[in-house]
Amino acid sequence: MEINNLYNILFREIEKNRNNTVFEIPDEKKIIYKDFENIINTIYINLKNKQVEPGDRICAQTSKSIEVIALYLACLKIGAIYIPLNFDYSIDELKFFIEDSKPKLFILDKKNKYINNDNLKKIIKLTLLEEISSSDCINIKSNIKTNTFNSNDNDIAAILYTSGTTGKPKGAALSHKNLSSNCLSLNKIWKFSSNDILLHALPVYHVHGLFVAINCSILSGSKIIFLPKFDTASVLEYIPKSTVMMGVPTFYNRLIEHKKLNSNLCKNMRVFISGSAPLTIETWNTFFKKTGHKILERYGMTETGMITSNPYLIEKRKAESVGWPLPEVKLRISKENLNLKDHLGEIQVKGPNVFNGYWNKKNKNTDFTKDGFFKTGDIGKIDNEGRVFIVGRQKDLIITGGLNVYPKEVEDHLNKINEIKESAVIGLPDKDFGETVVAVVVMEKNKNLTPKEIQNTILNKLAKFKVPKKFIFISELPRNIMGKIQKNILRDKYKDI
Ligand code: AMP
């Protein structure tokens, strides 16, 4: 009987690829699929020895490593729900995730700054990734077979927290079917094969670096050059040895600044893919001029996986468009409740890739339409060829270097500071990060704080990427008749600072 667990789907061609390299960490190590499977099975047995059962949640806040990918895959195999967490999160944020997801285990590695944190230890026992991935710890007598859990399509494989519109993060619960349908589809349209070498410089706690990049590569038995993070010099060094690169626009903005980037360097590359934030036409054009490559832009979200993609056929790729909906995805532009001109409206999607709702949130009415379409909050249009264009966001979201920040969450923290009367957090254009987080602040009478003092106060509460980089102090926030802060006026007024 065929098992629809994502694990089995990812490894369906493993027999052919057992001796292929799966990961190469420059100057460190190479590992083949066969040995990688052994690490996954070691973790599987260690998790089972810790009584992890299908449906249990496993939180992981670790650095980027082969072992943490093996942990993700071992969770799939057991049927446990994997919850990757950004390394940057504060203790308060972690507390929230633990309360919300009630994990059986909280896994961190030796590089984690909270490893000896008493506040964290008070709420949950910490488990070391190094220990559960080491075969020394296996209880040989345990006699556990590493069978893949026979999951249903709707069983949840992972929860990814996205910072929420209401000020608290929300856990997007993604099923085995959501993830498998998406990577099967991307594999086909992007023509992945076991000859591919993926240059991986993305974080692995996000949909892009984990589900798009890792799932697509493993599914096709390809090799992954696994860089700890994006660093222009090392990416340029490994481009000639790779065939595919996936990145956020910030990566491409940095690469085009470098004089080493040219078409000769990229001659081994099959395709450069971009997503998670808007890619400007300037970046697309400059990259094309310097390398002869037309960046393939795609569009997706944590809640939906990938939704659209430009075509693989180079002549048909187009700058500024995110391409056509993936074969199984229904996409429509809805004008309901919006007063937008021309053919603009909210992008709404339905398909096997779209999640079923947020963890612990029963009421789906705000996120889905009555006929089951997910409301993305992105504003777009479709041209007469069927290509999708994203022109803006209805949701009050800032995307900085590919990471999402909901202003409400930051404002809540700013407004708790006694000296601050009120605040409005906005995203302003930034050449490198796409957008930068800016706080417009009104101080209480006769009170003063420097930007540094404000930053230091909230740094303990919020991940660093959410902390405003710039502060603008004004005496009053602009409001409309209903009393709503007019962020569009602020964005317009300060766009050139
Ligand atoms: P995330 O859940 O972090 O993947 O962020 C999803 C959001 O990123 C989407 O709702 C869009 O607003 C934005 N996004 C993703 N891909 C693109 C793209 N190619 N162009 C413009 N915005 C994008």
Residue 160 Cα to ligand 1 midpoint, Å, equals: 15
Domain-ending residue, one of 129, 164, 187 = 187
Q: Which two tokens stand for residue 460?
A: 């303990």
Nearest ligand 1 atom, CA 397: 12
CB atoms within 10 A of CB 332: 14
297 and 282 in a single domain? The answer is yes
Residue 306 Cα to ligand 1 midpoint, Å, equals: 10
What φ, ψ does residue 348 adopt, rounded to 5°?
-125, 140
DSSP string of 395-424? S--EEETTEEE-HHHHHHHHHTSTTEEEEE
Q: Which amino acid is at 464?
A: K
- Rounded CA-CA distance 409/463 in Å is 11
Contacts of 48 (CB under 8 A, 6+ apart): 78, 142, 144
Residue 275 Cα to ligand 1 midpoint, Å, equals: 7
CATH number of the domain that residue 453 is part of:
3.30.300.30
**Contact 58/35 with Cβ under 8 angstroms?**
no
pLDDT in tens, 236-264: 999 999 999 999 999 999 999 999 999 99
pLDDT in tens, 194-225: 999 999 999 999 999 999 999 999 999 999 99
232-261: b (≥16 Cβ within 10 Å) or e = eebbbebbeebbbbbbbbbbbbbbbeeeeb
Average pLDDT over residues 428-451: 94
**205: in domain:** no
**Contact 40/133 with Cβ under 8 angstroms?**
no
**487: in domain:** yes
350 and 249 in a single domain? The answer is yes
- At 137 the pLDDT is 63
- Rounded CA-CA distance 177/322 in Å is 24
Q: Which amino acid is at 389?
A: F
Q: Which two tokens stand for residue 141?
A: 């007598």
314 and 175 in a single domain? The answer is no
Average pLDDT over residues 358-370: 91
Ligand 1 atom 23: residue of nearest CA? 277
Mutate to test the pocket of ligand 1, among 273, 347, 378 (most ligand atoms within 8 A of CB): 378
Residue 402 Cα to ligand 1 midpoint, Å, equals: 8
Ligand 1 atom 9: residue of nearest CA? 301
432 and 332 in a single domain? The answer is no
- Percent of the chain beyond pLDDT 90? 85
Q: Which among 100, 248, 72, 267 is positioned nearest to 176, based on CA atoms? A: 72
Nearest ligand 1 atom, CA 395: 12
Range with the poorest average pLDDT among 186-200, 221-235, 465-479, 483-497: 483-497
61 and 179 in a single domain? The answer is yes
The whole-model pTM stands at 0.91
CB atoms within 10 A of CB 390: 18
- At 480 the pLDDT is 77
SS3 (DSSP) at 372: coil
**Contact 65/28 with Cβ under 8 angstroms?**
no
**243: in domain:** yes
Nearest ligand 1 atom, CA 376: 10
DSSP state for residue 427 in the 8-state scheme: E
Q: Which domain holds residue 135?
A: 6-187
272 and 421 in a single domain? The answer is no
Count of structural domains within the chain: 3
**215: in domain:** no
Residue 393 has pLDDT above 70, yes or no: yes
CATH number of the domain that residue 116 is part of:
3.40.50.12780
- Rounded CA-CA distance 214/207 in Å is 10
Residue 278 Cα to ligand 1 midpoint, Å, equals: 7
Domain-ending residue, one of 333, 361, 395 = 395
Residue 44 Cα to ligand 1 midpoint, Å, equals: 33
379 and 416 in a single domain? The answer is no
Strands 170-175 and 156-162: antiparallel
Residue 277 Cα to ligand 1 midpoint, Å, equals: 5
462 or 364, which is more confident: 462
**304: in domain:** yes
- Rounded CA-CA distance 6/177 in Å is 7
Average pLDDT over residues 275-304: 96
Ligand 1 atom 12: residue of nearest CA? 378
- At 30 the pLDDT is 96
- At 488 the pLDDT is 87
Ligand 1 atom 20: residue of nearest CA? 278
Mutate to test the pocket of ligand 1, among 163, 207, 309, 390 (most ligand atoms within 8 A of CB): 390
Nearest ligand 1 atom, CA 402: 3
pLDDT in tens, 58-116: 999 999 999 999 999 999 999 999 999 999 999 999 999 999 999 999 999 999 999 99
331 and 245 in a single domain? The answer is yes
20 and 168 in a single domain? The answer is yes
Residue 340 has pLDDT above 80, yes or no: no
285 burial via Cβ count (<10 Å: 0-12, 13-18, 19+)? middle
113 and 143 in a single domain? The answer is yes
pLDDT in tens, 12-45: 999 999 999 999 999 999 999 999 999 999 999 9
Beta strand spans in 183-253 (E): 197-200, 223-226, 244-247
Ligand 1 atom 6: residue of nearest CA? 301
Ligand 1 atom 7: residue of nearest CA? 301
416 and 427 in a single domain? The answer is yes
Strands 388-393 and 223-226: unpaired
- Rounded CA-CA distance 421/304 in Å is 38
Ligand 1 atom 10: residue of nearest CA? 301
* Largest Cα–Cα separation, the chain: 73
pLDDT tier, 275 (very low <50, low <70, confident <90, very high otherwise): very high
Ligand 1 pocket (Cβ < 6 Å) reads 162, 207, 275-278, 297, 299-302, 322, 376, 378, 390, 393, 399, 404
What φ, ψ does residue 369 adopt, rounded to 5°?
-80, 170
- Rounded CA-CA distance 317/309 in Å is 9
Domain-ending residue, one of 395, 421, 438 = 395
pLDDT in tens, 483-493: 678 888 999 99
Beta bridge partners of 83: 59
Residue 69 Cα to ligand 1 midpoint, Å, equals: 23
114 and 153 in a single domain? The answer is yes
- At 444 the pLDDT is 92
- At 170 the pLDDT is 93
Residue 119 has pLDDT above 60, yes or no: yes
Residue 396 Cα to ligand 1 midpoint, Å, equals: 13
